[in-house]
Amino acid sequence: QVQVVESGGGLVQTGGSLRLSCVAPGRTISSMFMGWFRQAPGKEREFVAYIIRGAGTAYYADPVKGRFTISRDNAKNTVYLQMNSLKPEDTAIYYCAADLRMGSGQRDTWNYWGQGTQVTVSS
C-alpha cells in the first residue's frame, strides 16, 4: 500500500495562483508515476497532469495546458502542481495519485490516491 497525501488547496480569485504539494511517505516519488486529478461538483474525476517515473516528462489535460505545471523535487521527495491564471472552472477537489507501473489520463489506471484538497476559484 502506498500512502498519498496532498496539501495546499484554498480559496483564490480568478487569475490567481496556487501550488499544491503531494508526498508519499516511505516511498521514493521519483520511482513512481505521479499524477493529479480533479473532481468538480456534479462531474466525474478528470485528469489534470502526470509526470513519468524517472525521467520526469510531464503530460497535461487540454484545459490546463499553459497554466498548470507539474514538477518533482527529488531532494524533497515531493510532487507539485503549480496552478496559475486560475479560473472558476478550475474549482474542484484535487487529488494526487501514484502508481508503481504506469501513468495515464485514465483515472482507473492509478492504484493509489490521496484524500483530496479543495481548490475554490471565485469570480
Q: Tell me which amino acid residue 59 is.
A: Y
Q: Which of 96, 95, 113 is nearest to 1 (CA)?
A: 113
pLDDT in tens, 16-52: 999 999 999 999 999 999 999 999 999 999 999 999 9
Q: Which of 55, 59, 44, 52 is nearest to 95 (CA)?
A: 44
Q: Is 31 helix (H, G, I), strand (E, B) or coil?
A: helix
Residue 31, pLDDT score: 95
Please provide the average confidence, as pLDDT, over all residues in the chain.
96
d(CA 70, CA 37): 12
Residue 102, pLDDT score: 87
pLDDT in tens, 71-117: 999 999 999 999 999 999 999 999 999 999 988 999 999 999 999 99
